[in-house]
Amino acid sequence: MPHPFRLYNTLTRQPEAFEPIEEGKVGLYVCGNTVYSDAHIGHGRAMIVFDMVVRHLKARGWDVTFVRNFTDVDDKIIAAAAKQDVDPLALSAKYIERYREDAAALGLVEPTVEPKVSETIDGIIAMVAALVERGHAYENDGTVWFAVDSKDDYGKLSGQKVSELRSADVGSKRNPADFALWKAAKPGEPSWPSPWGEGRPGWHIECSAMSKEHLGNTFDIHGGGLDLVFPHHENEVAQSECATGQTPMARYWMHNGLLTMPSGQKMGKSLGNVHLIRDLLAEYPHEALRLYYLQSHYRSPLPWDPATGVQMDEALAMLARLYEAREVAEEMGGKEPAADVVASLGDDARRLWELGNEFESRFLAAMDDDFNTAQALGLAFELARALNRFANHKKAKKRGGPVVAPALAGFKLLGPSLGLLDQACDDFLEEVKVKRLGAMGVERSDIEALLADRATARSTKDWARADAIRDELEAKSIVVMDRTDGVQWKIRLATAE
């Protein structure tokens, strides 16, 4: 039996207990990208947030049908293609490919289906025809408009009133708030034959058609960015409910918060402050970006300062802390019964044992309560601290294994639900070195040569020379750690003031 969970529903503006339409199943539709350029960190948040949702629900035993679409026919694609003098569908195909590369690099779970507008034209035409037939839409010169006045509760998702909307030109529309379901073809644009002549879908209709095709007239959860609530999702609701005659289109609406820029800046290519996912992942492990997103609640605004890069360094340091704590625990041995070890190793052992045993229920409770990843991660750090504290005991390494077993089991939950701690510590640390050194333009062989010199100096207790070399490494942002089990080094990370 799947475990129950709560989620905030944009439709009702409050948290609710999830009630599936079909027992044990979750149908989830998430608005994917309009593919005319590479995905940036803003898109990344939505990608990671819904990846986390899907992961966690699966981990909790739900049978999830996850639909994430590609909008590959759209005004902006056409405009970008015209500018580059390429075919619009070829352009979108290229960026679908690149989106998939980014998704894989981010470690996203694969959607159950990834429909495209260009492959859903029949469904779209059928839906538009149904809307015309039912009197919710009208045609004018080959363009079909949705009549917002035809739906009494138009605006119920976003709380907008048609009469209060600030609207531009009316054009051939009856009401300024009416929106295009089908657009008459212009020369050079991709188009398909329809009952209203050659044309292409409007912006919102594709999601209505694709969600209906893959999830049915009414489905469980619809997700997307907060900026899509109006008009995109509002219009989807209107189209779907009017076309099928069934209400609601989706029972729960989940919206992720947006990245916020410092002092009212907007992120934009023209401003030169767009961070592409692929550029970031060249310099940082993907889990660092994931941790950065998940350390705050998915609905909260999340600050991003493109100038500093501090947020990624901080996230990376946090991630390393978790990996290293887990590594410490994994290296502990011993085969005594846990109770005996706990009894003989004192309060820190007892505290860790208790925290470890409580962890699963507390972690899952946080996740089940509207996906509170911030709280869940806080628990993981609390566990890491208790673990490190226990590890300070002389006998912990030889005998501590049984005591840390529950904590290790706890860390294992971060993979299935959050997509974190999903690799071996050594692999992770190696990835950090490769990516950070590359980003800083530091040659690894230089570091290794300096480390070798320093080892020689230390072996003869030439401390002055050893410290001089360490200063030299420090200047390259390399931190040296002399440990009992050998010398290690790592990259100095930036920290917030």
| Residue numbers 457-496 binding RNA by CB under 7 A | 458, 463, 466-467, 470, 479-483, 495-496
Helices 286-294 & 373-391 angle (0-180, nearest 10): 120
Site string for RNA, 156-175 (x = CB under 7 A): --xxxx--xxxxx-------
Contact, 243 vs 205, CB < 8 A? no
CA gap 86, 88 in Å, rounded = 6
Q: Which is nearer to RNA, 188 or 245 (CB)?
A: 188
Within 10 Å of residue 375's Cβ, how many Cβ atoms? 15
269 binds RNA (CB under 7 A): no
We find the least distance from the C-beta atom of residue 265 to RNA, in angstroms, to be 8
Assess 31 for contact with RNA (CB under 7 A).
yes
Minimum CB separation from RNA for residue 337, in Å? Answer: 26
Nearer to RNA, 20 or 140 (CB): 140
Nearer Cβ to RNA, position 112 or 160?
160
Pick the closest to residue 308 from 286, 331, 271, 275 (CA basis).
Answer: 275
One residue of 297, 393, 433, 476 binding RNA per CB under 7 A = 297
Judged by CB under 7 A, the stretch of 99-107, 153-161, 400-408, 440-448 that binds RNA is 153-161
Q: Does 382 bind RNA (CB under 7 A)?
A: yes
Using the rule CB under 7 A, give the single segment among 20-28, 83-91, 338-346, 375-383 that binds RNA.
375-383
How far, CA to CA in Å, does 291 sit from each of 52, 415, 438?
11, 12, 21
Rounded to the nearest whole angstrom, what is the least distance from the CB of residue 302 to RNA in the complex?
6
Judged by beta carbon, residue 17 or residue 481, the one nearer RNA is 481
- The whole-angstrom separation of Cα 325 and Cα 347 is 19
Closer to RNA by CB, 1 or 459: give it.
459
Task: Point out which span in 55-63, 111-119, 387-395, 405-413 binds RNA (CB under 7 A).
Answer: 387-395
Amino acid at 490: K
CA 114 distance to own-chain centroid: 17
Of 143 and 194, the one with the shorter C-beta distance to RNA is: 143
Minimum distance of RNA from residue 251's CB (angstroms): 18
The residue assigned the tokens 């039912």 is 134
Pick the stretch among 20-28, 141-149, 383-391, 416-424 that binds RNA (CB under 7 A).
383-391
The residue range among 184-192, 240-248, 384-392, 424-432 that interacts with RNA, by the rule CB under 7 A, is 384-392
Residue partners of 196: CB distance under 8 A and separation at least 6: 139, 142, 143, 144, 182, 184
| HEC assignment per residue over 460-489 | CCCHHHHHHHHHHHHHCCEEEEEECCEEEE
The distance from CA 131 to its chain's CA centroid, rounded to whole angstroms, is: 35
Q: Tokens for 275?
A: 């961070």
Q: Contact at 8 Å (CB) between 140 and 171?
A: no
Binding region for RNA (CB under 7 A) out of 135-143, 214-222, 290-298, 422-430: 290-298
Do residues 256 and 50 make contact, with C-beta atoms less than 8 angstroms apart?
yes
Q: Which residues within the stretch 100-119 sit at the binding site for RNA (CB under 7 A)? A: none
Q: Cβ of residue 477: shortest distance to RNA, in angstroms?
A: 12
Provide the 3-class DSSP secondary structure of residue 31.
coil
Residues of span 183-212 touching RNA by CB under 7 A: 202-203
Taking the complex as a whole, how short is the minimal distance between the CB of residue 67 and RNA, in angstroms? 14
**C-alpha span between 106 and 437 (Å, rounded):** 20
Report the site for RNA in 214-243 (rule: CB under 7 A): 224-232
Which residues, 39 to 68, sit near RNA by CB under 7 A? 42-43, 45-46
Q: Report the amino acid identity of residue 127.
A: M
DSSP state of 237: H
Q: Which residues of 314-324 are buried (b: 16+ CB within 10 A; e: fewer)?
A: bbbbbbbebbb
Alpha helices in 216-298 (DSSP H): 234-244, 277-283, 286-294
Q: Cβ-count burial of 85 within 10 angstroms (0-12 exposed, 13-18 middle, 19+ buried)? A: exposed
Q: What is the closest distance, in whole angstroms, from the C-beta atom of residue 126 to RNA in the complex?
A: 21
309 neighbors 273 (Cβ within 8 angstroms): no
CA distances from 200 to 79, 132, 193, 452 (A): 15, 16, 8, 66
Which residue in 6, 76, 100, 395 binds RNA (CB under 7 A)? 76
CB of 4 to RNA, least distance (A): 17
Interface map 418-457 toward RNA (x if CB under 7 A): ----------------------------------------
Q: Shortest Cβ distance from residue 165 to RNA (Å)? A: 4
Interface with RNA by CB under 7 A: which range of 91-99, 118-126, 292-300, 401-409?
292-300
Choose between 25 and 299: whose C-beta lies nearer to RNA: 299
Structural tokens at position 348: 């820190």
- Kindly tell me which of 20 and 248 has the beta carbon lying closer to RNA: 248
- Binders of RNA in range 298-357 (CB under 7 A): 300-303, 314, 317-318, 321, 324
Specify the residue for token string 């490919």. Answer: 97
> If binding means CB under 7 A, how many residues of this protein chain bind RNA?
78
